[in-house]
Structure 1
Amino acid sequence: MNFYNQIGKMALGSRLRALSNNITNDAADIYKLYDIEMQPRWFPVFYVLSKTDESSITAIAKEIGQTHPSVSQVVREMVKHGFAIEKKSKEDQRKNYVALSAKGKDAAVKIQAQYQDVEAAIDGAFKESQYDLWKAIEEWEYLLEQKSLFKRVQDERKKRESGNVTIIDYSPEYQSAFRELNVEWISQYFSMEESDYKALDHPNEYIIDKGGYIFIALYEGDALGTCALIKMDDHKYELAKMAVSPKAQGKNIGTLLGQAAIAKCKALGADTIYLESNTILKPAINLYRKLGFEKITGTPSPYARCNIQMELKIV
């Protein structure tokens, strides 16, 4: 246990496996104690079959929350050891079903005394413990069902790495980065258009001098993201030319750029932010929705690649 105390919560999975292995080893000895020739890993499948005449592997897998291949493997082992049989369904002869064999049914009767003693033993252990392990497991299962551990780690990584992101105002030294970042993503999915070249080659003339703004996202000093606010009128700006380098994906840069643009519009007294995009850009559309943008039907876009228009009303 000293190892787990040293390494801490990072070893949660390893510690749970060690606990599971201890319980599984005891379970094997318990089956022998009651003279039942069964492997601990068979138990969920065995239990389901003991409560029904027959069942399909798909139904068993769904009921016990395991994969079809893992249940199929257990069934093969049970059949091999004479605990189960495979047979045609009474309702549909084209389907194979699983049922307990005579040996399995005898075990289902014999195991009742074991059930009683095991449940009493576990209840006794629960009473000796300070925390209710069963309720804690239920709570963790619910929490991880709502948001997996992978997603939680992914979010923490974004939070940490976003601390190394700085959003700054555009200056001429970032003109090449502004252009290259946008050309990279546009060329990957679409074709560059005349309006793209005008804005990217002459950002001062087509964006800034007309009352717009450009933001640059620096990650550890490198320009890896950008977006622009194009002035439409005194109360409305277009969020455009948002691009994040593929090597910076997952660092929350898009969100930080969007938040910077929204904050700027609020400071300017604008009440609406408009944008154009394409629905094949699912991560971008999801980002816009998270920022509060909603789909609208606006005037026809000058860009051929545009098939969705969105708008954010600033409160």
Structure 2
Amino acid sequence: MEFFNKVGKVALGSRLRLMTAVITDDAAKIYESYGMNFMPKWFPVFYTLMQEREITITEIANEIGHSQPSVSKIVQEMIVAGLVEDNQKSNDKRRNIVGLTTQGKEFSEELKLQLKDVEAAVDNLITESSHNLWAALEEWEFLLEQKSLFKRVNEEKKKRESQDVQIVNFEPQYLEAFKSLNVEWISTYFEMEEADYKALDNPQEYILDKGGKILVALYHNEPVGVCALIKMNNPTYDFEMAKMAVSPKAQGKNIGFLLGQAIVNSARDQGASKIYLESNTILKPAINLYNKLGFQKVFGLATPYKRCNIQMELVIK
């Protein structure tokens, strides 16, 4: 179709809905041609009931992947049509069992013949086509279950927006941003501590003059993220990654990961073998970020921060 050729893959949902509408319309015509008073939307529920076993509306919903209210509505419609009955006898009186009526069972035998014809027609369609749509649908369902289209689009959005992010070295003009961005997130979750003020008020003396580094993330030339690499006097660790902060208005643009990568690369360039960091487990996005960068949980170092309840290290390869 010209519209879909013009719009392309971004109209995937619209094209699938149109195909569904065409097939559903044909399904209604097929039932009518076989003299069956049956609605296409009833089929998954009715087919499940054809297995002749005790089953509840909730169990049907779970089995066919529909919502419980949707299945309940379809069951009520089929009850009116005389195909289904509920409140059947069961060994467990707490379960509201539904099943086919005598009329429904007779109808199911007619339906089995129609299904043979439908399956043969679909097989012929698959043979005529260059691609097996049925197999492709199974594969797509599996892939979307692993990672939804929503998540995939968000990842592409992050990737595109991250191209507008620049990671630059600290300069005096970024002093206020370095402090304000850190104060903002620390004050949101915890309280500012003495060690925070030392680093944020005097980064030149506390971080840079001791062999450390501060990187700044610019988005459209505005400082929206910062992170520091602090030289450690420790036989195990060369540097500490600290004071990472990203403005809330710039989150979702992969800035934290870009800063973390740049800090790790900077430590590697200086010959570091291990980087250390401290955090708190309530900061789940941050912990996920550190895991993504390759940090692993460790124990044992003394910390100047009350808020620290997790310590992590990265072995640089």
TM range (shorter): over 0.9
Distance in 2 of aligned mates of 1:18 and 1:129: 19
Counterpart-to-counterpart distance in 2, 1:27 and 1:193: 69
Q: Which residue of 2 aligns with 1:157?
A: 157
Q: Which residue of 1 aligns with 2:212?
A: 212
Cα shift readout 1:7-28 (whole Å, capped 9, x = no counterpart): 1001011001100100000101
**1:1-315 maps to which residues of 2 (within 5 A)?**
1-88=1-88, 90-233=90-233, 236-315=238-317
Structure 1 stretches (4+) deviating beyond 3 angstroms? none
CA distance in 2, matches of 1:165, 1:40: 51
Instruction: Quote the offset at 1:37 in angstroms.
Output: 1.5
> What is the distance in 2 between the residues matched to 1:94 and 1:146?
36
Q: Deviations over 1:254-290 (max 9, x none)?
A: 0000000000010000111100000000000000001
Letter in 2 for 1:93: K
Give structure 1 stretches of 5+ with no counterpart. Answer: none
Q: Is the 8 Å Cα contact of residues 276 and 306 (structure 1) preserved in structure 2?
A: yes
What per-residue deviation string (whole Å, max 9, x for no partner) do you get for residues 231-260 of structure 1? 004861000000011111110000000000
Q: More deviation in 222-231 or 59-68?
A: 59-68
After TM superposition, give the deviation of residue 89 of structure 1 in Å. Answer: 5.5
Q: Given the two structures, how large is their TM-score scaled by the length of structure 1? A: 0.97
What CA RMSD, in Å, does the superposition of the two structures yield over aligned residues? Answer: 1.3
**Secondary structure of the equivalent of 1:69?**
helix
Partner secondary structure for residue 217 of structure 1: strand
AA at the equivalent of 2:16: L
Using the alignment, how far apart are the partners of 1:233 and 1:80 within structure 2? 80
CA distance in 2, matches of 1:228, 1:140: 43
Cα deviation, residue 49, structure 1:
0.5
Q: Secondary structure at the match of 1:305?
A: coil
Paired with 2:262 and 2:241, the residues of 1 have a C-alpha distance of 11
AA aligned opposite 1:268: Q
Structure 2 unaligned regions, length at least 5? none
Paired residues of 1:279 and 1:308 also in contact (CA < 8 A): yes
Matched-pair contact (CA < 8 Å) for 2:161–2:253 = yes
> What secondary structure is seen at the aligned counterpart in 2 of 1:262?
helix
Moved more, 91-100 or 258-267: 91-100
**1:279–1:307 CA contact under 8 A, matched in 2:** yes
In 2, the alpha carbon distance for the partners of 1:309 and 1:294 equals 8
Range 249-258 or range 68-77, more displaced: 68-77
In the alignment, the residues of structure 2 paired with residue 89 and residue 192 of structure 1 have an alpha-carbon distance, to the nearest angstrom, of 66
Structure 2 contact 90–97 (Cα < 8 Å) conserved:
no
Cα-to-partner distance string for 1:18-68 (whole Å, 9 max, x where unaligned): 001000001011111112211111101110110123311222122212222
- Bigger Cα displacement from structure 2, 265-274 vs 75-84: 75-84
Please say which of residues 304-313 and 100-109 is displaced more in the overlay. 100-109
Distance 2:89 2:275 in 1: 61
Q: Deviations over 1:69-118 (max 9, x none)?
A: 32222222222322211115512102212111222212111111101111
- Asked if 2 retains the 8 angstrom alpha-carbon contact of 1:88 and 1:94, the reply is no
Which moved further from structure 2: 61-70 or 48-57?
A: 61-70
Counterpart amino acid of residue 240 in structure 1: A
